[in-house]
Every structure is written in C-alpha cells, then in structure tokens.
C-alpha cells in the first residue's frame, strides 16, 4: 500500500499542530488563576513550582497581571514567596517586574521580612489553596 507524499506531509503537519498546541495548553495550565481584584488585576500561582520546604513552610511562584483599569505602572509581577502555614505569614524571596514601558527589573531579598496574611484578601486565598490542601494534610 502506497501512501502519497502529499498525504504523508499533511498527516505529519496535522500531528505537529496537535503536538504543538498541547504543549502551549500545558504551559498555560501551569499558571492557576486564583483571584481577581476590584481593578481587574489577576493573580495566578505556578502549580509546578509549589514546594513544601517543611510541614509549615511552602514556597511558590505567584504572578500578578494588571489591567488597563489599574493605575499601576507594572504590566506583570512575578514573585517567589514563602508562606508559613502555622503562623499565617508570608515573605518575598525574589521579584521580577515587567513594566508597561517594556523595561524589566529583578530583585532578590537576602533577609526577607515576614508579613501577616490578612483575611479576605487575595493572599489569604493563596494561603487557603496551598496550606489547607498540602500533601498529607
């Protein structure tokens, strides 16, 4: 049985498109949306980056994207955070900022300050997701 070159090329192209689109979808799915602010600012966490350092400490990359309704000068903010699930606190270890003007900035914090997580905030929502659903908990 002979397969024509055109048919083989078409099937190969179709297979490549399906494979490529599934990789794009997988990349998009790693960022899980968990909160939207009053100004349409959207908050996501990277489900693939969640690491439980100890029974009480969890580390995660979080992404905040601003909308045109926001007065922010930033377009996107990626933050590596640690949460202390037993003390309801978090700290920032690293930040990567993309500004509206196209510039970018990175900053690491060698001595991060622990901050209380306030109820009824997007940070508390992230706490609920990561601390209340931790493995073995």
55-110 pLDDT tens trace:
999 999 999 998 776 677 889 999 999 999 999 999 999 999 999 889 999 999 99
With contact defined as beta carbons under 8 Å apart, do 27 and 112 qualify? no
Angle at 130 between CA 120 and CA 74, to 5 degrees: 65
- The number of beta carbons lying within 10 Å of the beta carbon of residue 121 is 12
At 20 the pLDDT is 52
Q: What is the pTM of this model?
A: 0.73
**Binning pLDDT at 50, 70 and 90, where does residue 137 land?**
very low
At 17 the pLDDT is 57
Residue 70 φ/ψ, nearest 5 degrees? -80, 145
Residue 109 in any domain: the answer is yes
Residue 17 φ/ψ, nearest 5 degrees? -65, -45
How far CA 75 is from CA of 64, 68, 70, 94, in Å, comes to 8, 9, 10, 17
Domain that residue 95 falls in: 31-132
Q: How many domains does the chain fold into?
A: 1
Residue 93 in any domain: the answer is yes
Residue-wise pLDDT for 7-45, tens only, equals: 654 445 445 555 554 444 445 579 999 999 888 899 999
User: Burial of 58 by CB count in 10 Å (0-12 exposed, 13-18 middle, 19+ buried)?
Assistant: buried
Residue 66 in any domain: the answer is yes
Domain at 121, CATH number: 2.40.128.710
């Amino acid at each position: 049985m002979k397969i024509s070159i055109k048919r083989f090329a078409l099937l190969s192209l179709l297979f490549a498109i399906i494979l490529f689109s599934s990789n794009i979808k997988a990349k998009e799915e790693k960022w899980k949306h968990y909160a939207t602010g009053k100004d349409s600012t959207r908050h996501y966490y990277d489900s693939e980056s969640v690491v439980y350092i100890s029974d009480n400490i969890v580390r995660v990359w979080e992404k905040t994207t601003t909308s045109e309704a926001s007065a922010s000068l930033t377009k996107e903010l990626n933050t590596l955070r640690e949460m202390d699930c037993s003390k309801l606190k978090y700290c920032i270890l690293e930040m990567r900022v993309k500004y509206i003007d196209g510039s970018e900035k990175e900053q690491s914090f060698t001595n991060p300050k622990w901050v209380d997580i306030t109820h009824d905030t997007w940070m508390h929502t992230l706490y609920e997701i990561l601390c209340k659903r931790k493995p073995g908990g």
